[in-house]
Homo-oligomer: A and B are copies of this chain.
Amino acid sequence: MARYLNQSEAIRLDEELFNECHFGVEQLMELAGLSCATAIVEVYPESKNVLVVSGPGNNGGDGLVCARHLKVFGYNPAIYYPKFAVKTLYKNLILQCELFGIPFLMSCPEVEDLNSKYSLVVDAMFGFSFKPPVRDEFKDIMHNMIQMSTPCCSIDIPSGWHVEKGPHDGECLQPDMLISLSAPKLCAKYFKGRYHYLGGRFIPPYLMEKYHLEYLKYPSTNSHLKLNSEI
């Protein structure tokens, strides 16, 4: 049984990792993105043509790191990053992806492109601090991803979902895979896809206890863990 965090718990846990434990953002982002990449390789070993759609915040940063590690693992990722980065952190992660030869799409891919060119689309648009509505830059890609038949893997939160209440009544992403980072957020209870994984194996014991998180048994040195569907 994994415990589900509400939005304010997720935000506080994140703040404590940075302010109390003095982790660097790029340090934990590296581990989070790596765990997403290793989980994806486990679930989709043949889906080499991956599009990573990254948003403007830390969820998007996790996606950029994930894309780089997928490239290292022999995949052919491409990235769609619709909102230009301002922060140095994201600019650096983008440069690193470029130096690994990962192409960036300069216009929003159509549904037919998503279906024909990619065997997996990674949704790294919005994370646990998301508040609706979806910004303009992401409306088209969100719409196309909802229409596409290619499987979608969401990092931490299916983008557009309410962090606690899950999908809303309108058209919504229904990812095939969800990788919860550190702990599932409440919206994960509404996840109907085939694969629910946990990544981000870096919470110190005192925070595990403070947030009543379960010590789930990761296999050996893996940084990802398959969660049972009934949790």
Binding site for B on A (CB under 8 A): 20-24, 26-27, 29-31, 34, 37-38, 41-42, 69, 72-73, 91-92, 95-96, 99-101, 201-202, 204-206, 220-221
Known: A22-B96, A95-B21. A205 touches B101 (CB 8 A): yes
- A21→B100 CA distance, assembly (Å): 10
Q: Closest residue of chain B to A40, judged by CB?
A: B221
Q: What's the least CB distance linking A75 to chain B, in Å?
A: 11
- Total identical chains: 2
Q: A38-B221, A73-B220, A221-B73 are in contact. Are A96 and B23 (CB under 8 A)?
A: yes
A220 and B41 within 8 A (CB): yes
Taking a contact as CB atoms closer than 8 A, the residue among B34, B38, B92 that contacts A23 in the complex is: B92
Contact of A202 among B72, B101, B201 (CB under 8 A): B72
Given the known A-B contacts A24-B24, A26-B27, A73-B220, are A99 and B204 also in contact in the complex, defined by CB atoms under 8 Å?
yes
Query: In the complex, are the beta carbons of A99 and B206 less than 8 A apart?
Result: yes
Q: Given A27-B30, A206-B99 in contact, is the A22-B201 Cβ separation under 8 Å?
A: no
